Amino acid sequence: MDITLFSTNKEANFLQQYSNQIKINGLAAIDMQSTNQPQNSHTSTSRSSGSSEPCPAGTKWASRLLMECARAVSEKDSSKINHLLWMLNELASPYGDCEQKLASYFLQALFCKATDSGLRCYKTLTSVAEKSHSFDSARKLILKFQEVSPWTTFGHVASNGAILEALDGETKLHIIDISNTLCTQWPTLLEALATRNDETPHLKLTVVVTANIVKSVMKEIGQRMEKFARLMGVPFEINVISGLNNLGELTKEDLGVQEDEAIAVNCIGALRRIEVEERGAVIRMFQSLRPRVVTVVEEEADLFSSSVNHDFVKCFEECLRFYTLYFDMLEESFFPTSNERLMLERECSRSIVRVLGCDHHDHDDKNGGGECERRERGSQWSERLKEAFSPIGFSDDVVDDVKALLKRYRSGWGLVLPPQGEDIDQTGVYLTWKEEPVVWASIWKPSN
């Protein structure tokens, strides 16, 4: 996951107020939106359990209730929506077990969808989180997440290996980093460059920032990267491009590409943030840079197809499937009382509201809706990328590095390679959690 915004007690207070809103006047708002039929009055006291014990087998109630509510929202059945939202609000808690947490965050999105309040809620959640954004909190959270889970480090290791192989022997390197991982990928690459047998190359790193990251944070990151590069003895410069509403605004001229540079484009969790209509144009812009290699890492979920068909239930089901896996991973990776785990879950709550609670037109930056969250599966991204690029397989050395990385973590993680054979039309490698693919990594070169 991209770590860009972090939660505080203020956000917890907002969530509590939001729960109260559901109890007091939320159901009335739903009735006004759909029908004028009278509603029963409910008084509730939301259960807030401090337990985070794993859910016993046979108690997976959240998915069933949430899907039933999603169907009711899709059908605009106000009486059923009222009943199910009330039930979910009684059972849900952001501080409870895994089922209670799923119910809490998806309940929020369902309420937003039913009352057409998604964009307002998303803006408020984002604004509250931005106020607590600091380099210290970002660094600690990212390092802890990388310590307990390969969710992000998998893509770093796979991409770094591919970039180093593609640019081997070059003396002037230019890496265009389009991700929101705050440069945590690059120290290991600098170390690798410093130990090359031939002359140490000059590295220019251009970081494209589209998230709401405070400028002082990026300045601090740049200074630390420069200091580390000096320590490693690698000639280095870093440029930051910020202020973009979305990647569709990025141009070749912005990147300052020089003719004598060997270029690599690194996209980690970036393509899904591009508006669907602009994805082809951005990929063609990458092609115009004539890069030696393009690395793409994306989370494995299809939140695109159902949005095109305006199928809310199907989109909800896929979103629930993906975040159930993610929450399960967090539960088994962090201690129950971990503050970092709570921060990551809160970040998910904003994304869930973004995908499910906001209509498609709300994703327009002119409406203040921020970035798109329409994930696609690796096979879908491959179809888009093949219009301008050709896939490259990962070398045995890179695959071995990824396998070695996964051995550092708890059991449950795996690596799936594409089947061998000339007729196989599958690209990239997959990180799996409990045999379910969760992250896709791939390498591309410009088509001849």
On whether residue 328 sits in a domain, the answer given is: yes
Q: Are 194 and 240 in a shared domain?
A: yes
Q: Are 246 and 205 in a shared domain?
A: yes
For the chain, the distance separating the N- and C-terminal CA atoms, rounded to the nearest angstrom, is 34
pLDDT of residue 22: 47
Contact 3, 138 (CB under 8 A): yes
Q: Are 181 and 274 in a shared domain?
A: yes
* Domain around 87: 61-132+312-357
Q: Are 268 and 405 in a shared domain?
A: yes
pLDDT of residue 45: 34
List pLDDT tens digits, range 45-89.
344 444 444 444 446 899 999 999 999 999 999 999 999 999 999
Overall number of domains in the chain = 2
**Helices 98-115 and 61-75 meet at what angle, rounded to 10?**
10
pLDDT score of 42 more than 60: no
- Among 36-45, 247-256, 278-287, 311-320, whose mean pLDDT is lowest? 36-45
Cα 89 from chain centre: 26
Contact 101, 327 (CB under 8 A): yes
On whether residue 54 sits in a domain, the answer given is: no
Q: Are 283 and 405 in a shared domain?
A: yes
CATH number at residue 275: 3.40.50.150
On whether residue 174 sits in a domain, the answer given is: yes
Q: Buried b vs exposed e over 148-159: b needs ≥16 C-beta within 10 Å?
A: bbbbbbbbbbbb
Nearest to 294, CA basis, from 384, 362, 211: 384
Q: Are 128 and 195 in a shared domain?
A: no
pLDDT score of 43 more than 90: no
Contact 283, 296 (CB under 8 A): no
Tokens of 151: 């969710």
pLDDT score of 195 more than 50: yes
pLDDT score of 363 more than 80: no
**For range 306-312, the mean pLDDT:** 76
Q: Which residues pair with 202 in a beta bridge?
A: 172
On whether residue 72 sits in a domain, the answer given is: yes
Q: Are 256 and 193 in a shared domain?
A: yes
Identify which has the larger pLDDT, 193 or 243. 193
Q: Are 351 and 405 in a shared domain?
A: no
Q: Are 197 and 122 in a shared domain?
A: no
Q: What angle do CA 444, 445, 448 make, to 5 degrees?
A: 140
Of 292, 324, 357, the one marking the end of a domain is: 357
On whether residue 202 sits in a domain, the answer given is: yes
**For range 89-95, the mean pLDDT:** 92
Beta strand extents in 310-420 (DSSP E only): 389-392, 413-416
- In order, the DSSP letters of 27-94 are HHHHHHHH------------------PPPPTT--HHHHHHHHHHHHHHHT-HHHHHHHHHHHHHH--T
pLDDT of residue 206: 96
On whether residue 12 sits in a domain, the answer given is: no
List pLDDT tens digits, range 394-412.
999 999 999 999 999 999 9
pLDDT score of 11 more than 50: no
CA dihedral 52, 58, 63, 65 (to 10 degrees): -110
On whether residue 257 sits in a domain, the answer given is: yes
Q: How confident is the model at residue 114 (pLDDT cuts 50, 70, 90)?
A: very high
Q: Are 79 and 227 in a shared domain?
A: no
List pLDDT tens digits, range 120-172.
998 888 877 777 667 778 788 889 999 999 999 999 999 999 999 999 999 99
Mean of pLDDT over the chain: 84
Q: Are 65 and 125 in a shared domain?
A: yes
Q: Are 242 and 386 in a shared domain?
A: yes
On whether residue 86 sits in a domain, the answer given is: yes
Tokens of 279: 């994805």
